[in-house]
A and B are shown apart, each in its own frame.
Chain A
Amino acid sequence: MSEMLSSLPLLSPFIEFGFMRRAPGRLSGAVTRATPVGVFLMLRRMSLAGDAMSHAILPGAAVGYLIAGLSLPAMTFSGLVAGLAVAVLAGGGPQYGDQEDASLATFYLLSLSAGVLIISLRGSSVDLLHVLFGSVLALDDAALLLLAGFASLSVVALALGLRLFALEACDPLFLARISRLAPVAHYGFMVLLVLNLVAGLCARHADGGGNLDPAGGGRAPVGVQPRSAAADRRGHRLRRLTDRPAAFVLRQSAGRPGDRADAWRRVPAVAGDRTARPARQPLAVELAFRTLNPWR
């Protein structure tokens, strides 16, 4: 039986190699922990800040590498310390304005450079590649358990703070006026974000994800590349690509007949009319938020 399955080209790698069997587990863990946090990052207009913080972790991890070599716990710990320090120093507020964007973009490039420099102080170019892009062969059971732990912690923290995080993202001053938990919501989310970024770093180290956006989905479609007409067109195409299925699901998921009729009415308007809501969130983000629904 196994010989027959091994002969199938799509299945044989999963049968022959243990790390390939662990890869889907690592992937589902990453999706579970990173998607909701990424949704909240976008809702808080902090996608660029998420990017910058993910790179701020790199010098911290590099210091861990400098001290203890390619040790996952050492790099995780130093990355966590660096990430939390940046989260506290940055205040983690929502991001507005071009100047702040520019300084964040500068900050993350500086962090990336500093990380590369620190690793180069001790290691070879192979080590550098290993830290930056990881190795899929390193995805062993221990790494998988660590990633599963991060995913579980993240999901529990998000479940506990869901309504707080939503309220803080929607109307932070209102929350500050009515509840003393406003700082908990603010810094709690930042800690959750750092945990996810460090988990991303571990995953990268372990399986060679090669993705320098460990929050996963945290980056806005416009990203951090210089704006151009072509980039704008790409952004619009990408958004249309994600909006249409999201619009379809939003329509179908409306429960009562009245709600469904309302969804039919509003989704085309939301999807089509860009002038009415110039700063709207992508429908995929809206759909994800509606699925989480903190006021159930």
Chain B
Amino acid sequence: MDHRALGSIERSIAHAPASRVRAPAVVRFDNLTLGYNRHPAVHHLRGEVAAGSLLAVVGPNGAGKSTLLKGIAGELRPLQGRIELHGVHRRQIAYLTQQATLDISFPIIVHDFVAMGLWREMGAFAGLNRARRQRIAQAIDDVGLSGLETRPIGSLSGGQLQRALFARVMLQDAPLVLLDEPYGAIDAASVRDLAALVRQWHTQGRTVIAVLHDLEHVRQEYPETLLLAREVIARGDTAGVLSDTNLEHARAIAEGRGDDPHAAVCRSDREGA
């Protein structure tokens, strides 16, 4: 892709009309425990992600970050407690998973792939009218893929494919956006451009929850952070949450050195037993 085009993405986003979401989404956790095969991965989560939040979820591997997103998206049934969604239906959530499930050998071109994001308004039968074509073109332009509309998705690089996935998310026009490690294996320029898109979603009033590993990026881009290590270690202002003490505590728990050495068993369940 043309690198000069990459540099213009932030400008084009800055000039793009900011369409605010109609009903901001709120996510509430009520004593939520999520896991697999009755083994908890996230314990007793309580609290709320306020409307229009830009929240980073960080923590060591196996901390339950992706599990939490799966729970919010409704792909994992809580073992205990519940997740309440306000202002958004589960099928309105835009969820970008860590490993895209799409078959990249599928002979679909970038334009049609991005058009999938319009499913909620187009359904199985509506055609692409001029307004929809313009929106698709705008989304492709916003992610810096202009000129590649007729390329099959299988011929895109990893970064370009991630941009196409972001363009599809844009067209979903979702009040709640879940991103699971969206910048894995892509170059710095792509990270910068896609981060600009996430900022734009935030200013439009969308609630964005992103699982991330790059703590420097989180410090720069995300005002709020949730530090997880199978349970909540800290939550709130990013600078305060990402303190050395909290990070060491999270690592200790993940490695079984903390006060939760048998993390597969829920602490409060043990206390109750």
Contacts and interface: CB of A to CB of B under 8 A. Distances in A.
Interface of A: 43, 45, 160-161, 163-164, 166-167, 169-175, 177-181, 254, 258-259, 262-263, 266, 269-270, 276-277, 279-281, 285-286, 289-290, 293-296
A281 B106 contact: yes
Contacts of A270: 152, 155
Interface range on chain B (Cβ under 8 Å from partner): 20 to 34
Interface in B81-127: 91, 93, 95, 97, 100-103, 105-108, 111-113, 115-116, 119-120, 124-125, 127
B107 A178 contact: no
A282 to B, nearest CB: 9
A178 B106 contact: no
Given A164-B124, A179-B119, A171 B103 contact: yes
A177 B108 CA distance: 20
A170 B108 contact: yes
A141 B149 CA distance: 49
Interface in B132-165: 150-152, 154-155
Contact of A178 (B91, B97, B125): B91
A277 B107 contact: no
Nearest to B102: A171
Nearest to B91: A178
A266 B106 contact: no
Nearest to A160: B124
Contacts of B128: 295-296
B127 A281 contact: no
A174 B112 contact: no
Given A173-B101, A254-B150, A266-B152, A167 B116 contact: yes
B73 interface: yes
A172 B101 contact: yes
By secondary structure, the B interface counts as: loop
A289 B73 CA distance: 31
B150 A269 contact: no
27 contacts: A43-B103, A43-B106, A160-B124, A163-B125, A169-B103, A170-B103, A173-B101, A174-B116, A177-B75, A177-B91, A178-B119, A179-B91, A179-B119, A180-B91, A181-B124, A263-B150, A266-B152, A269-B155, A270-B152, A276-B155, A277-B154, A289-B107, A289-B108, A293-B112, A294-B112, A295-B111, A295-B115
B150 to A, nearest CB: 5
B242 to A, nearest CB: 31
Nearest to A173: B101
Nearest to A256: B150
B97 to A, nearest CB: 7
Contacts of B108: 166, 170, 289
B97 A280 contact: no
A174 B107 contact: no
Interface of B: 73, 75, 91, 93, 95, 97, 100-103, 105-108, 111-113, 115-116, 119-120, 124-125, 127-128, 150-152, 154-155, 172
Contacts of A161: 124
A279 B105 contact: yes
Contacts of A258: 150
Q: 6 closest A-B pairs (Cβ-Cβ)?
A: A286-B107, A171-B102, A173-B101, A295-B112, A170-B106, A279-B105
A104 to B, nearest CB: 19
A220 to B, nearest CB: 13
Nearest to A163: B124
Nearest to A185: B124
A14 to B, nearest CB: 38
A43 to B, nearest CB: 6
Contacts of A179: 91, 119
Given A43-B106, A258-B150, A269-B155, 6 more contacts: A167-B119, A173-B97, A173-B101, A262-B150, A280-B154, A281-B107
A171 B152 CA distance: 15
A293 B103 CA distance: 17
Contacts of A286: 107, 152
B105 A280 contact: yes
B159 to A, nearest CB: 16
Contacts of A170: 102-103, 106, 108, 113, 116
A39 to B, nearest CB: 10
Contacts of A166: 108
Contacts of A296: 127-128
B126 to A, nearest CB: 9
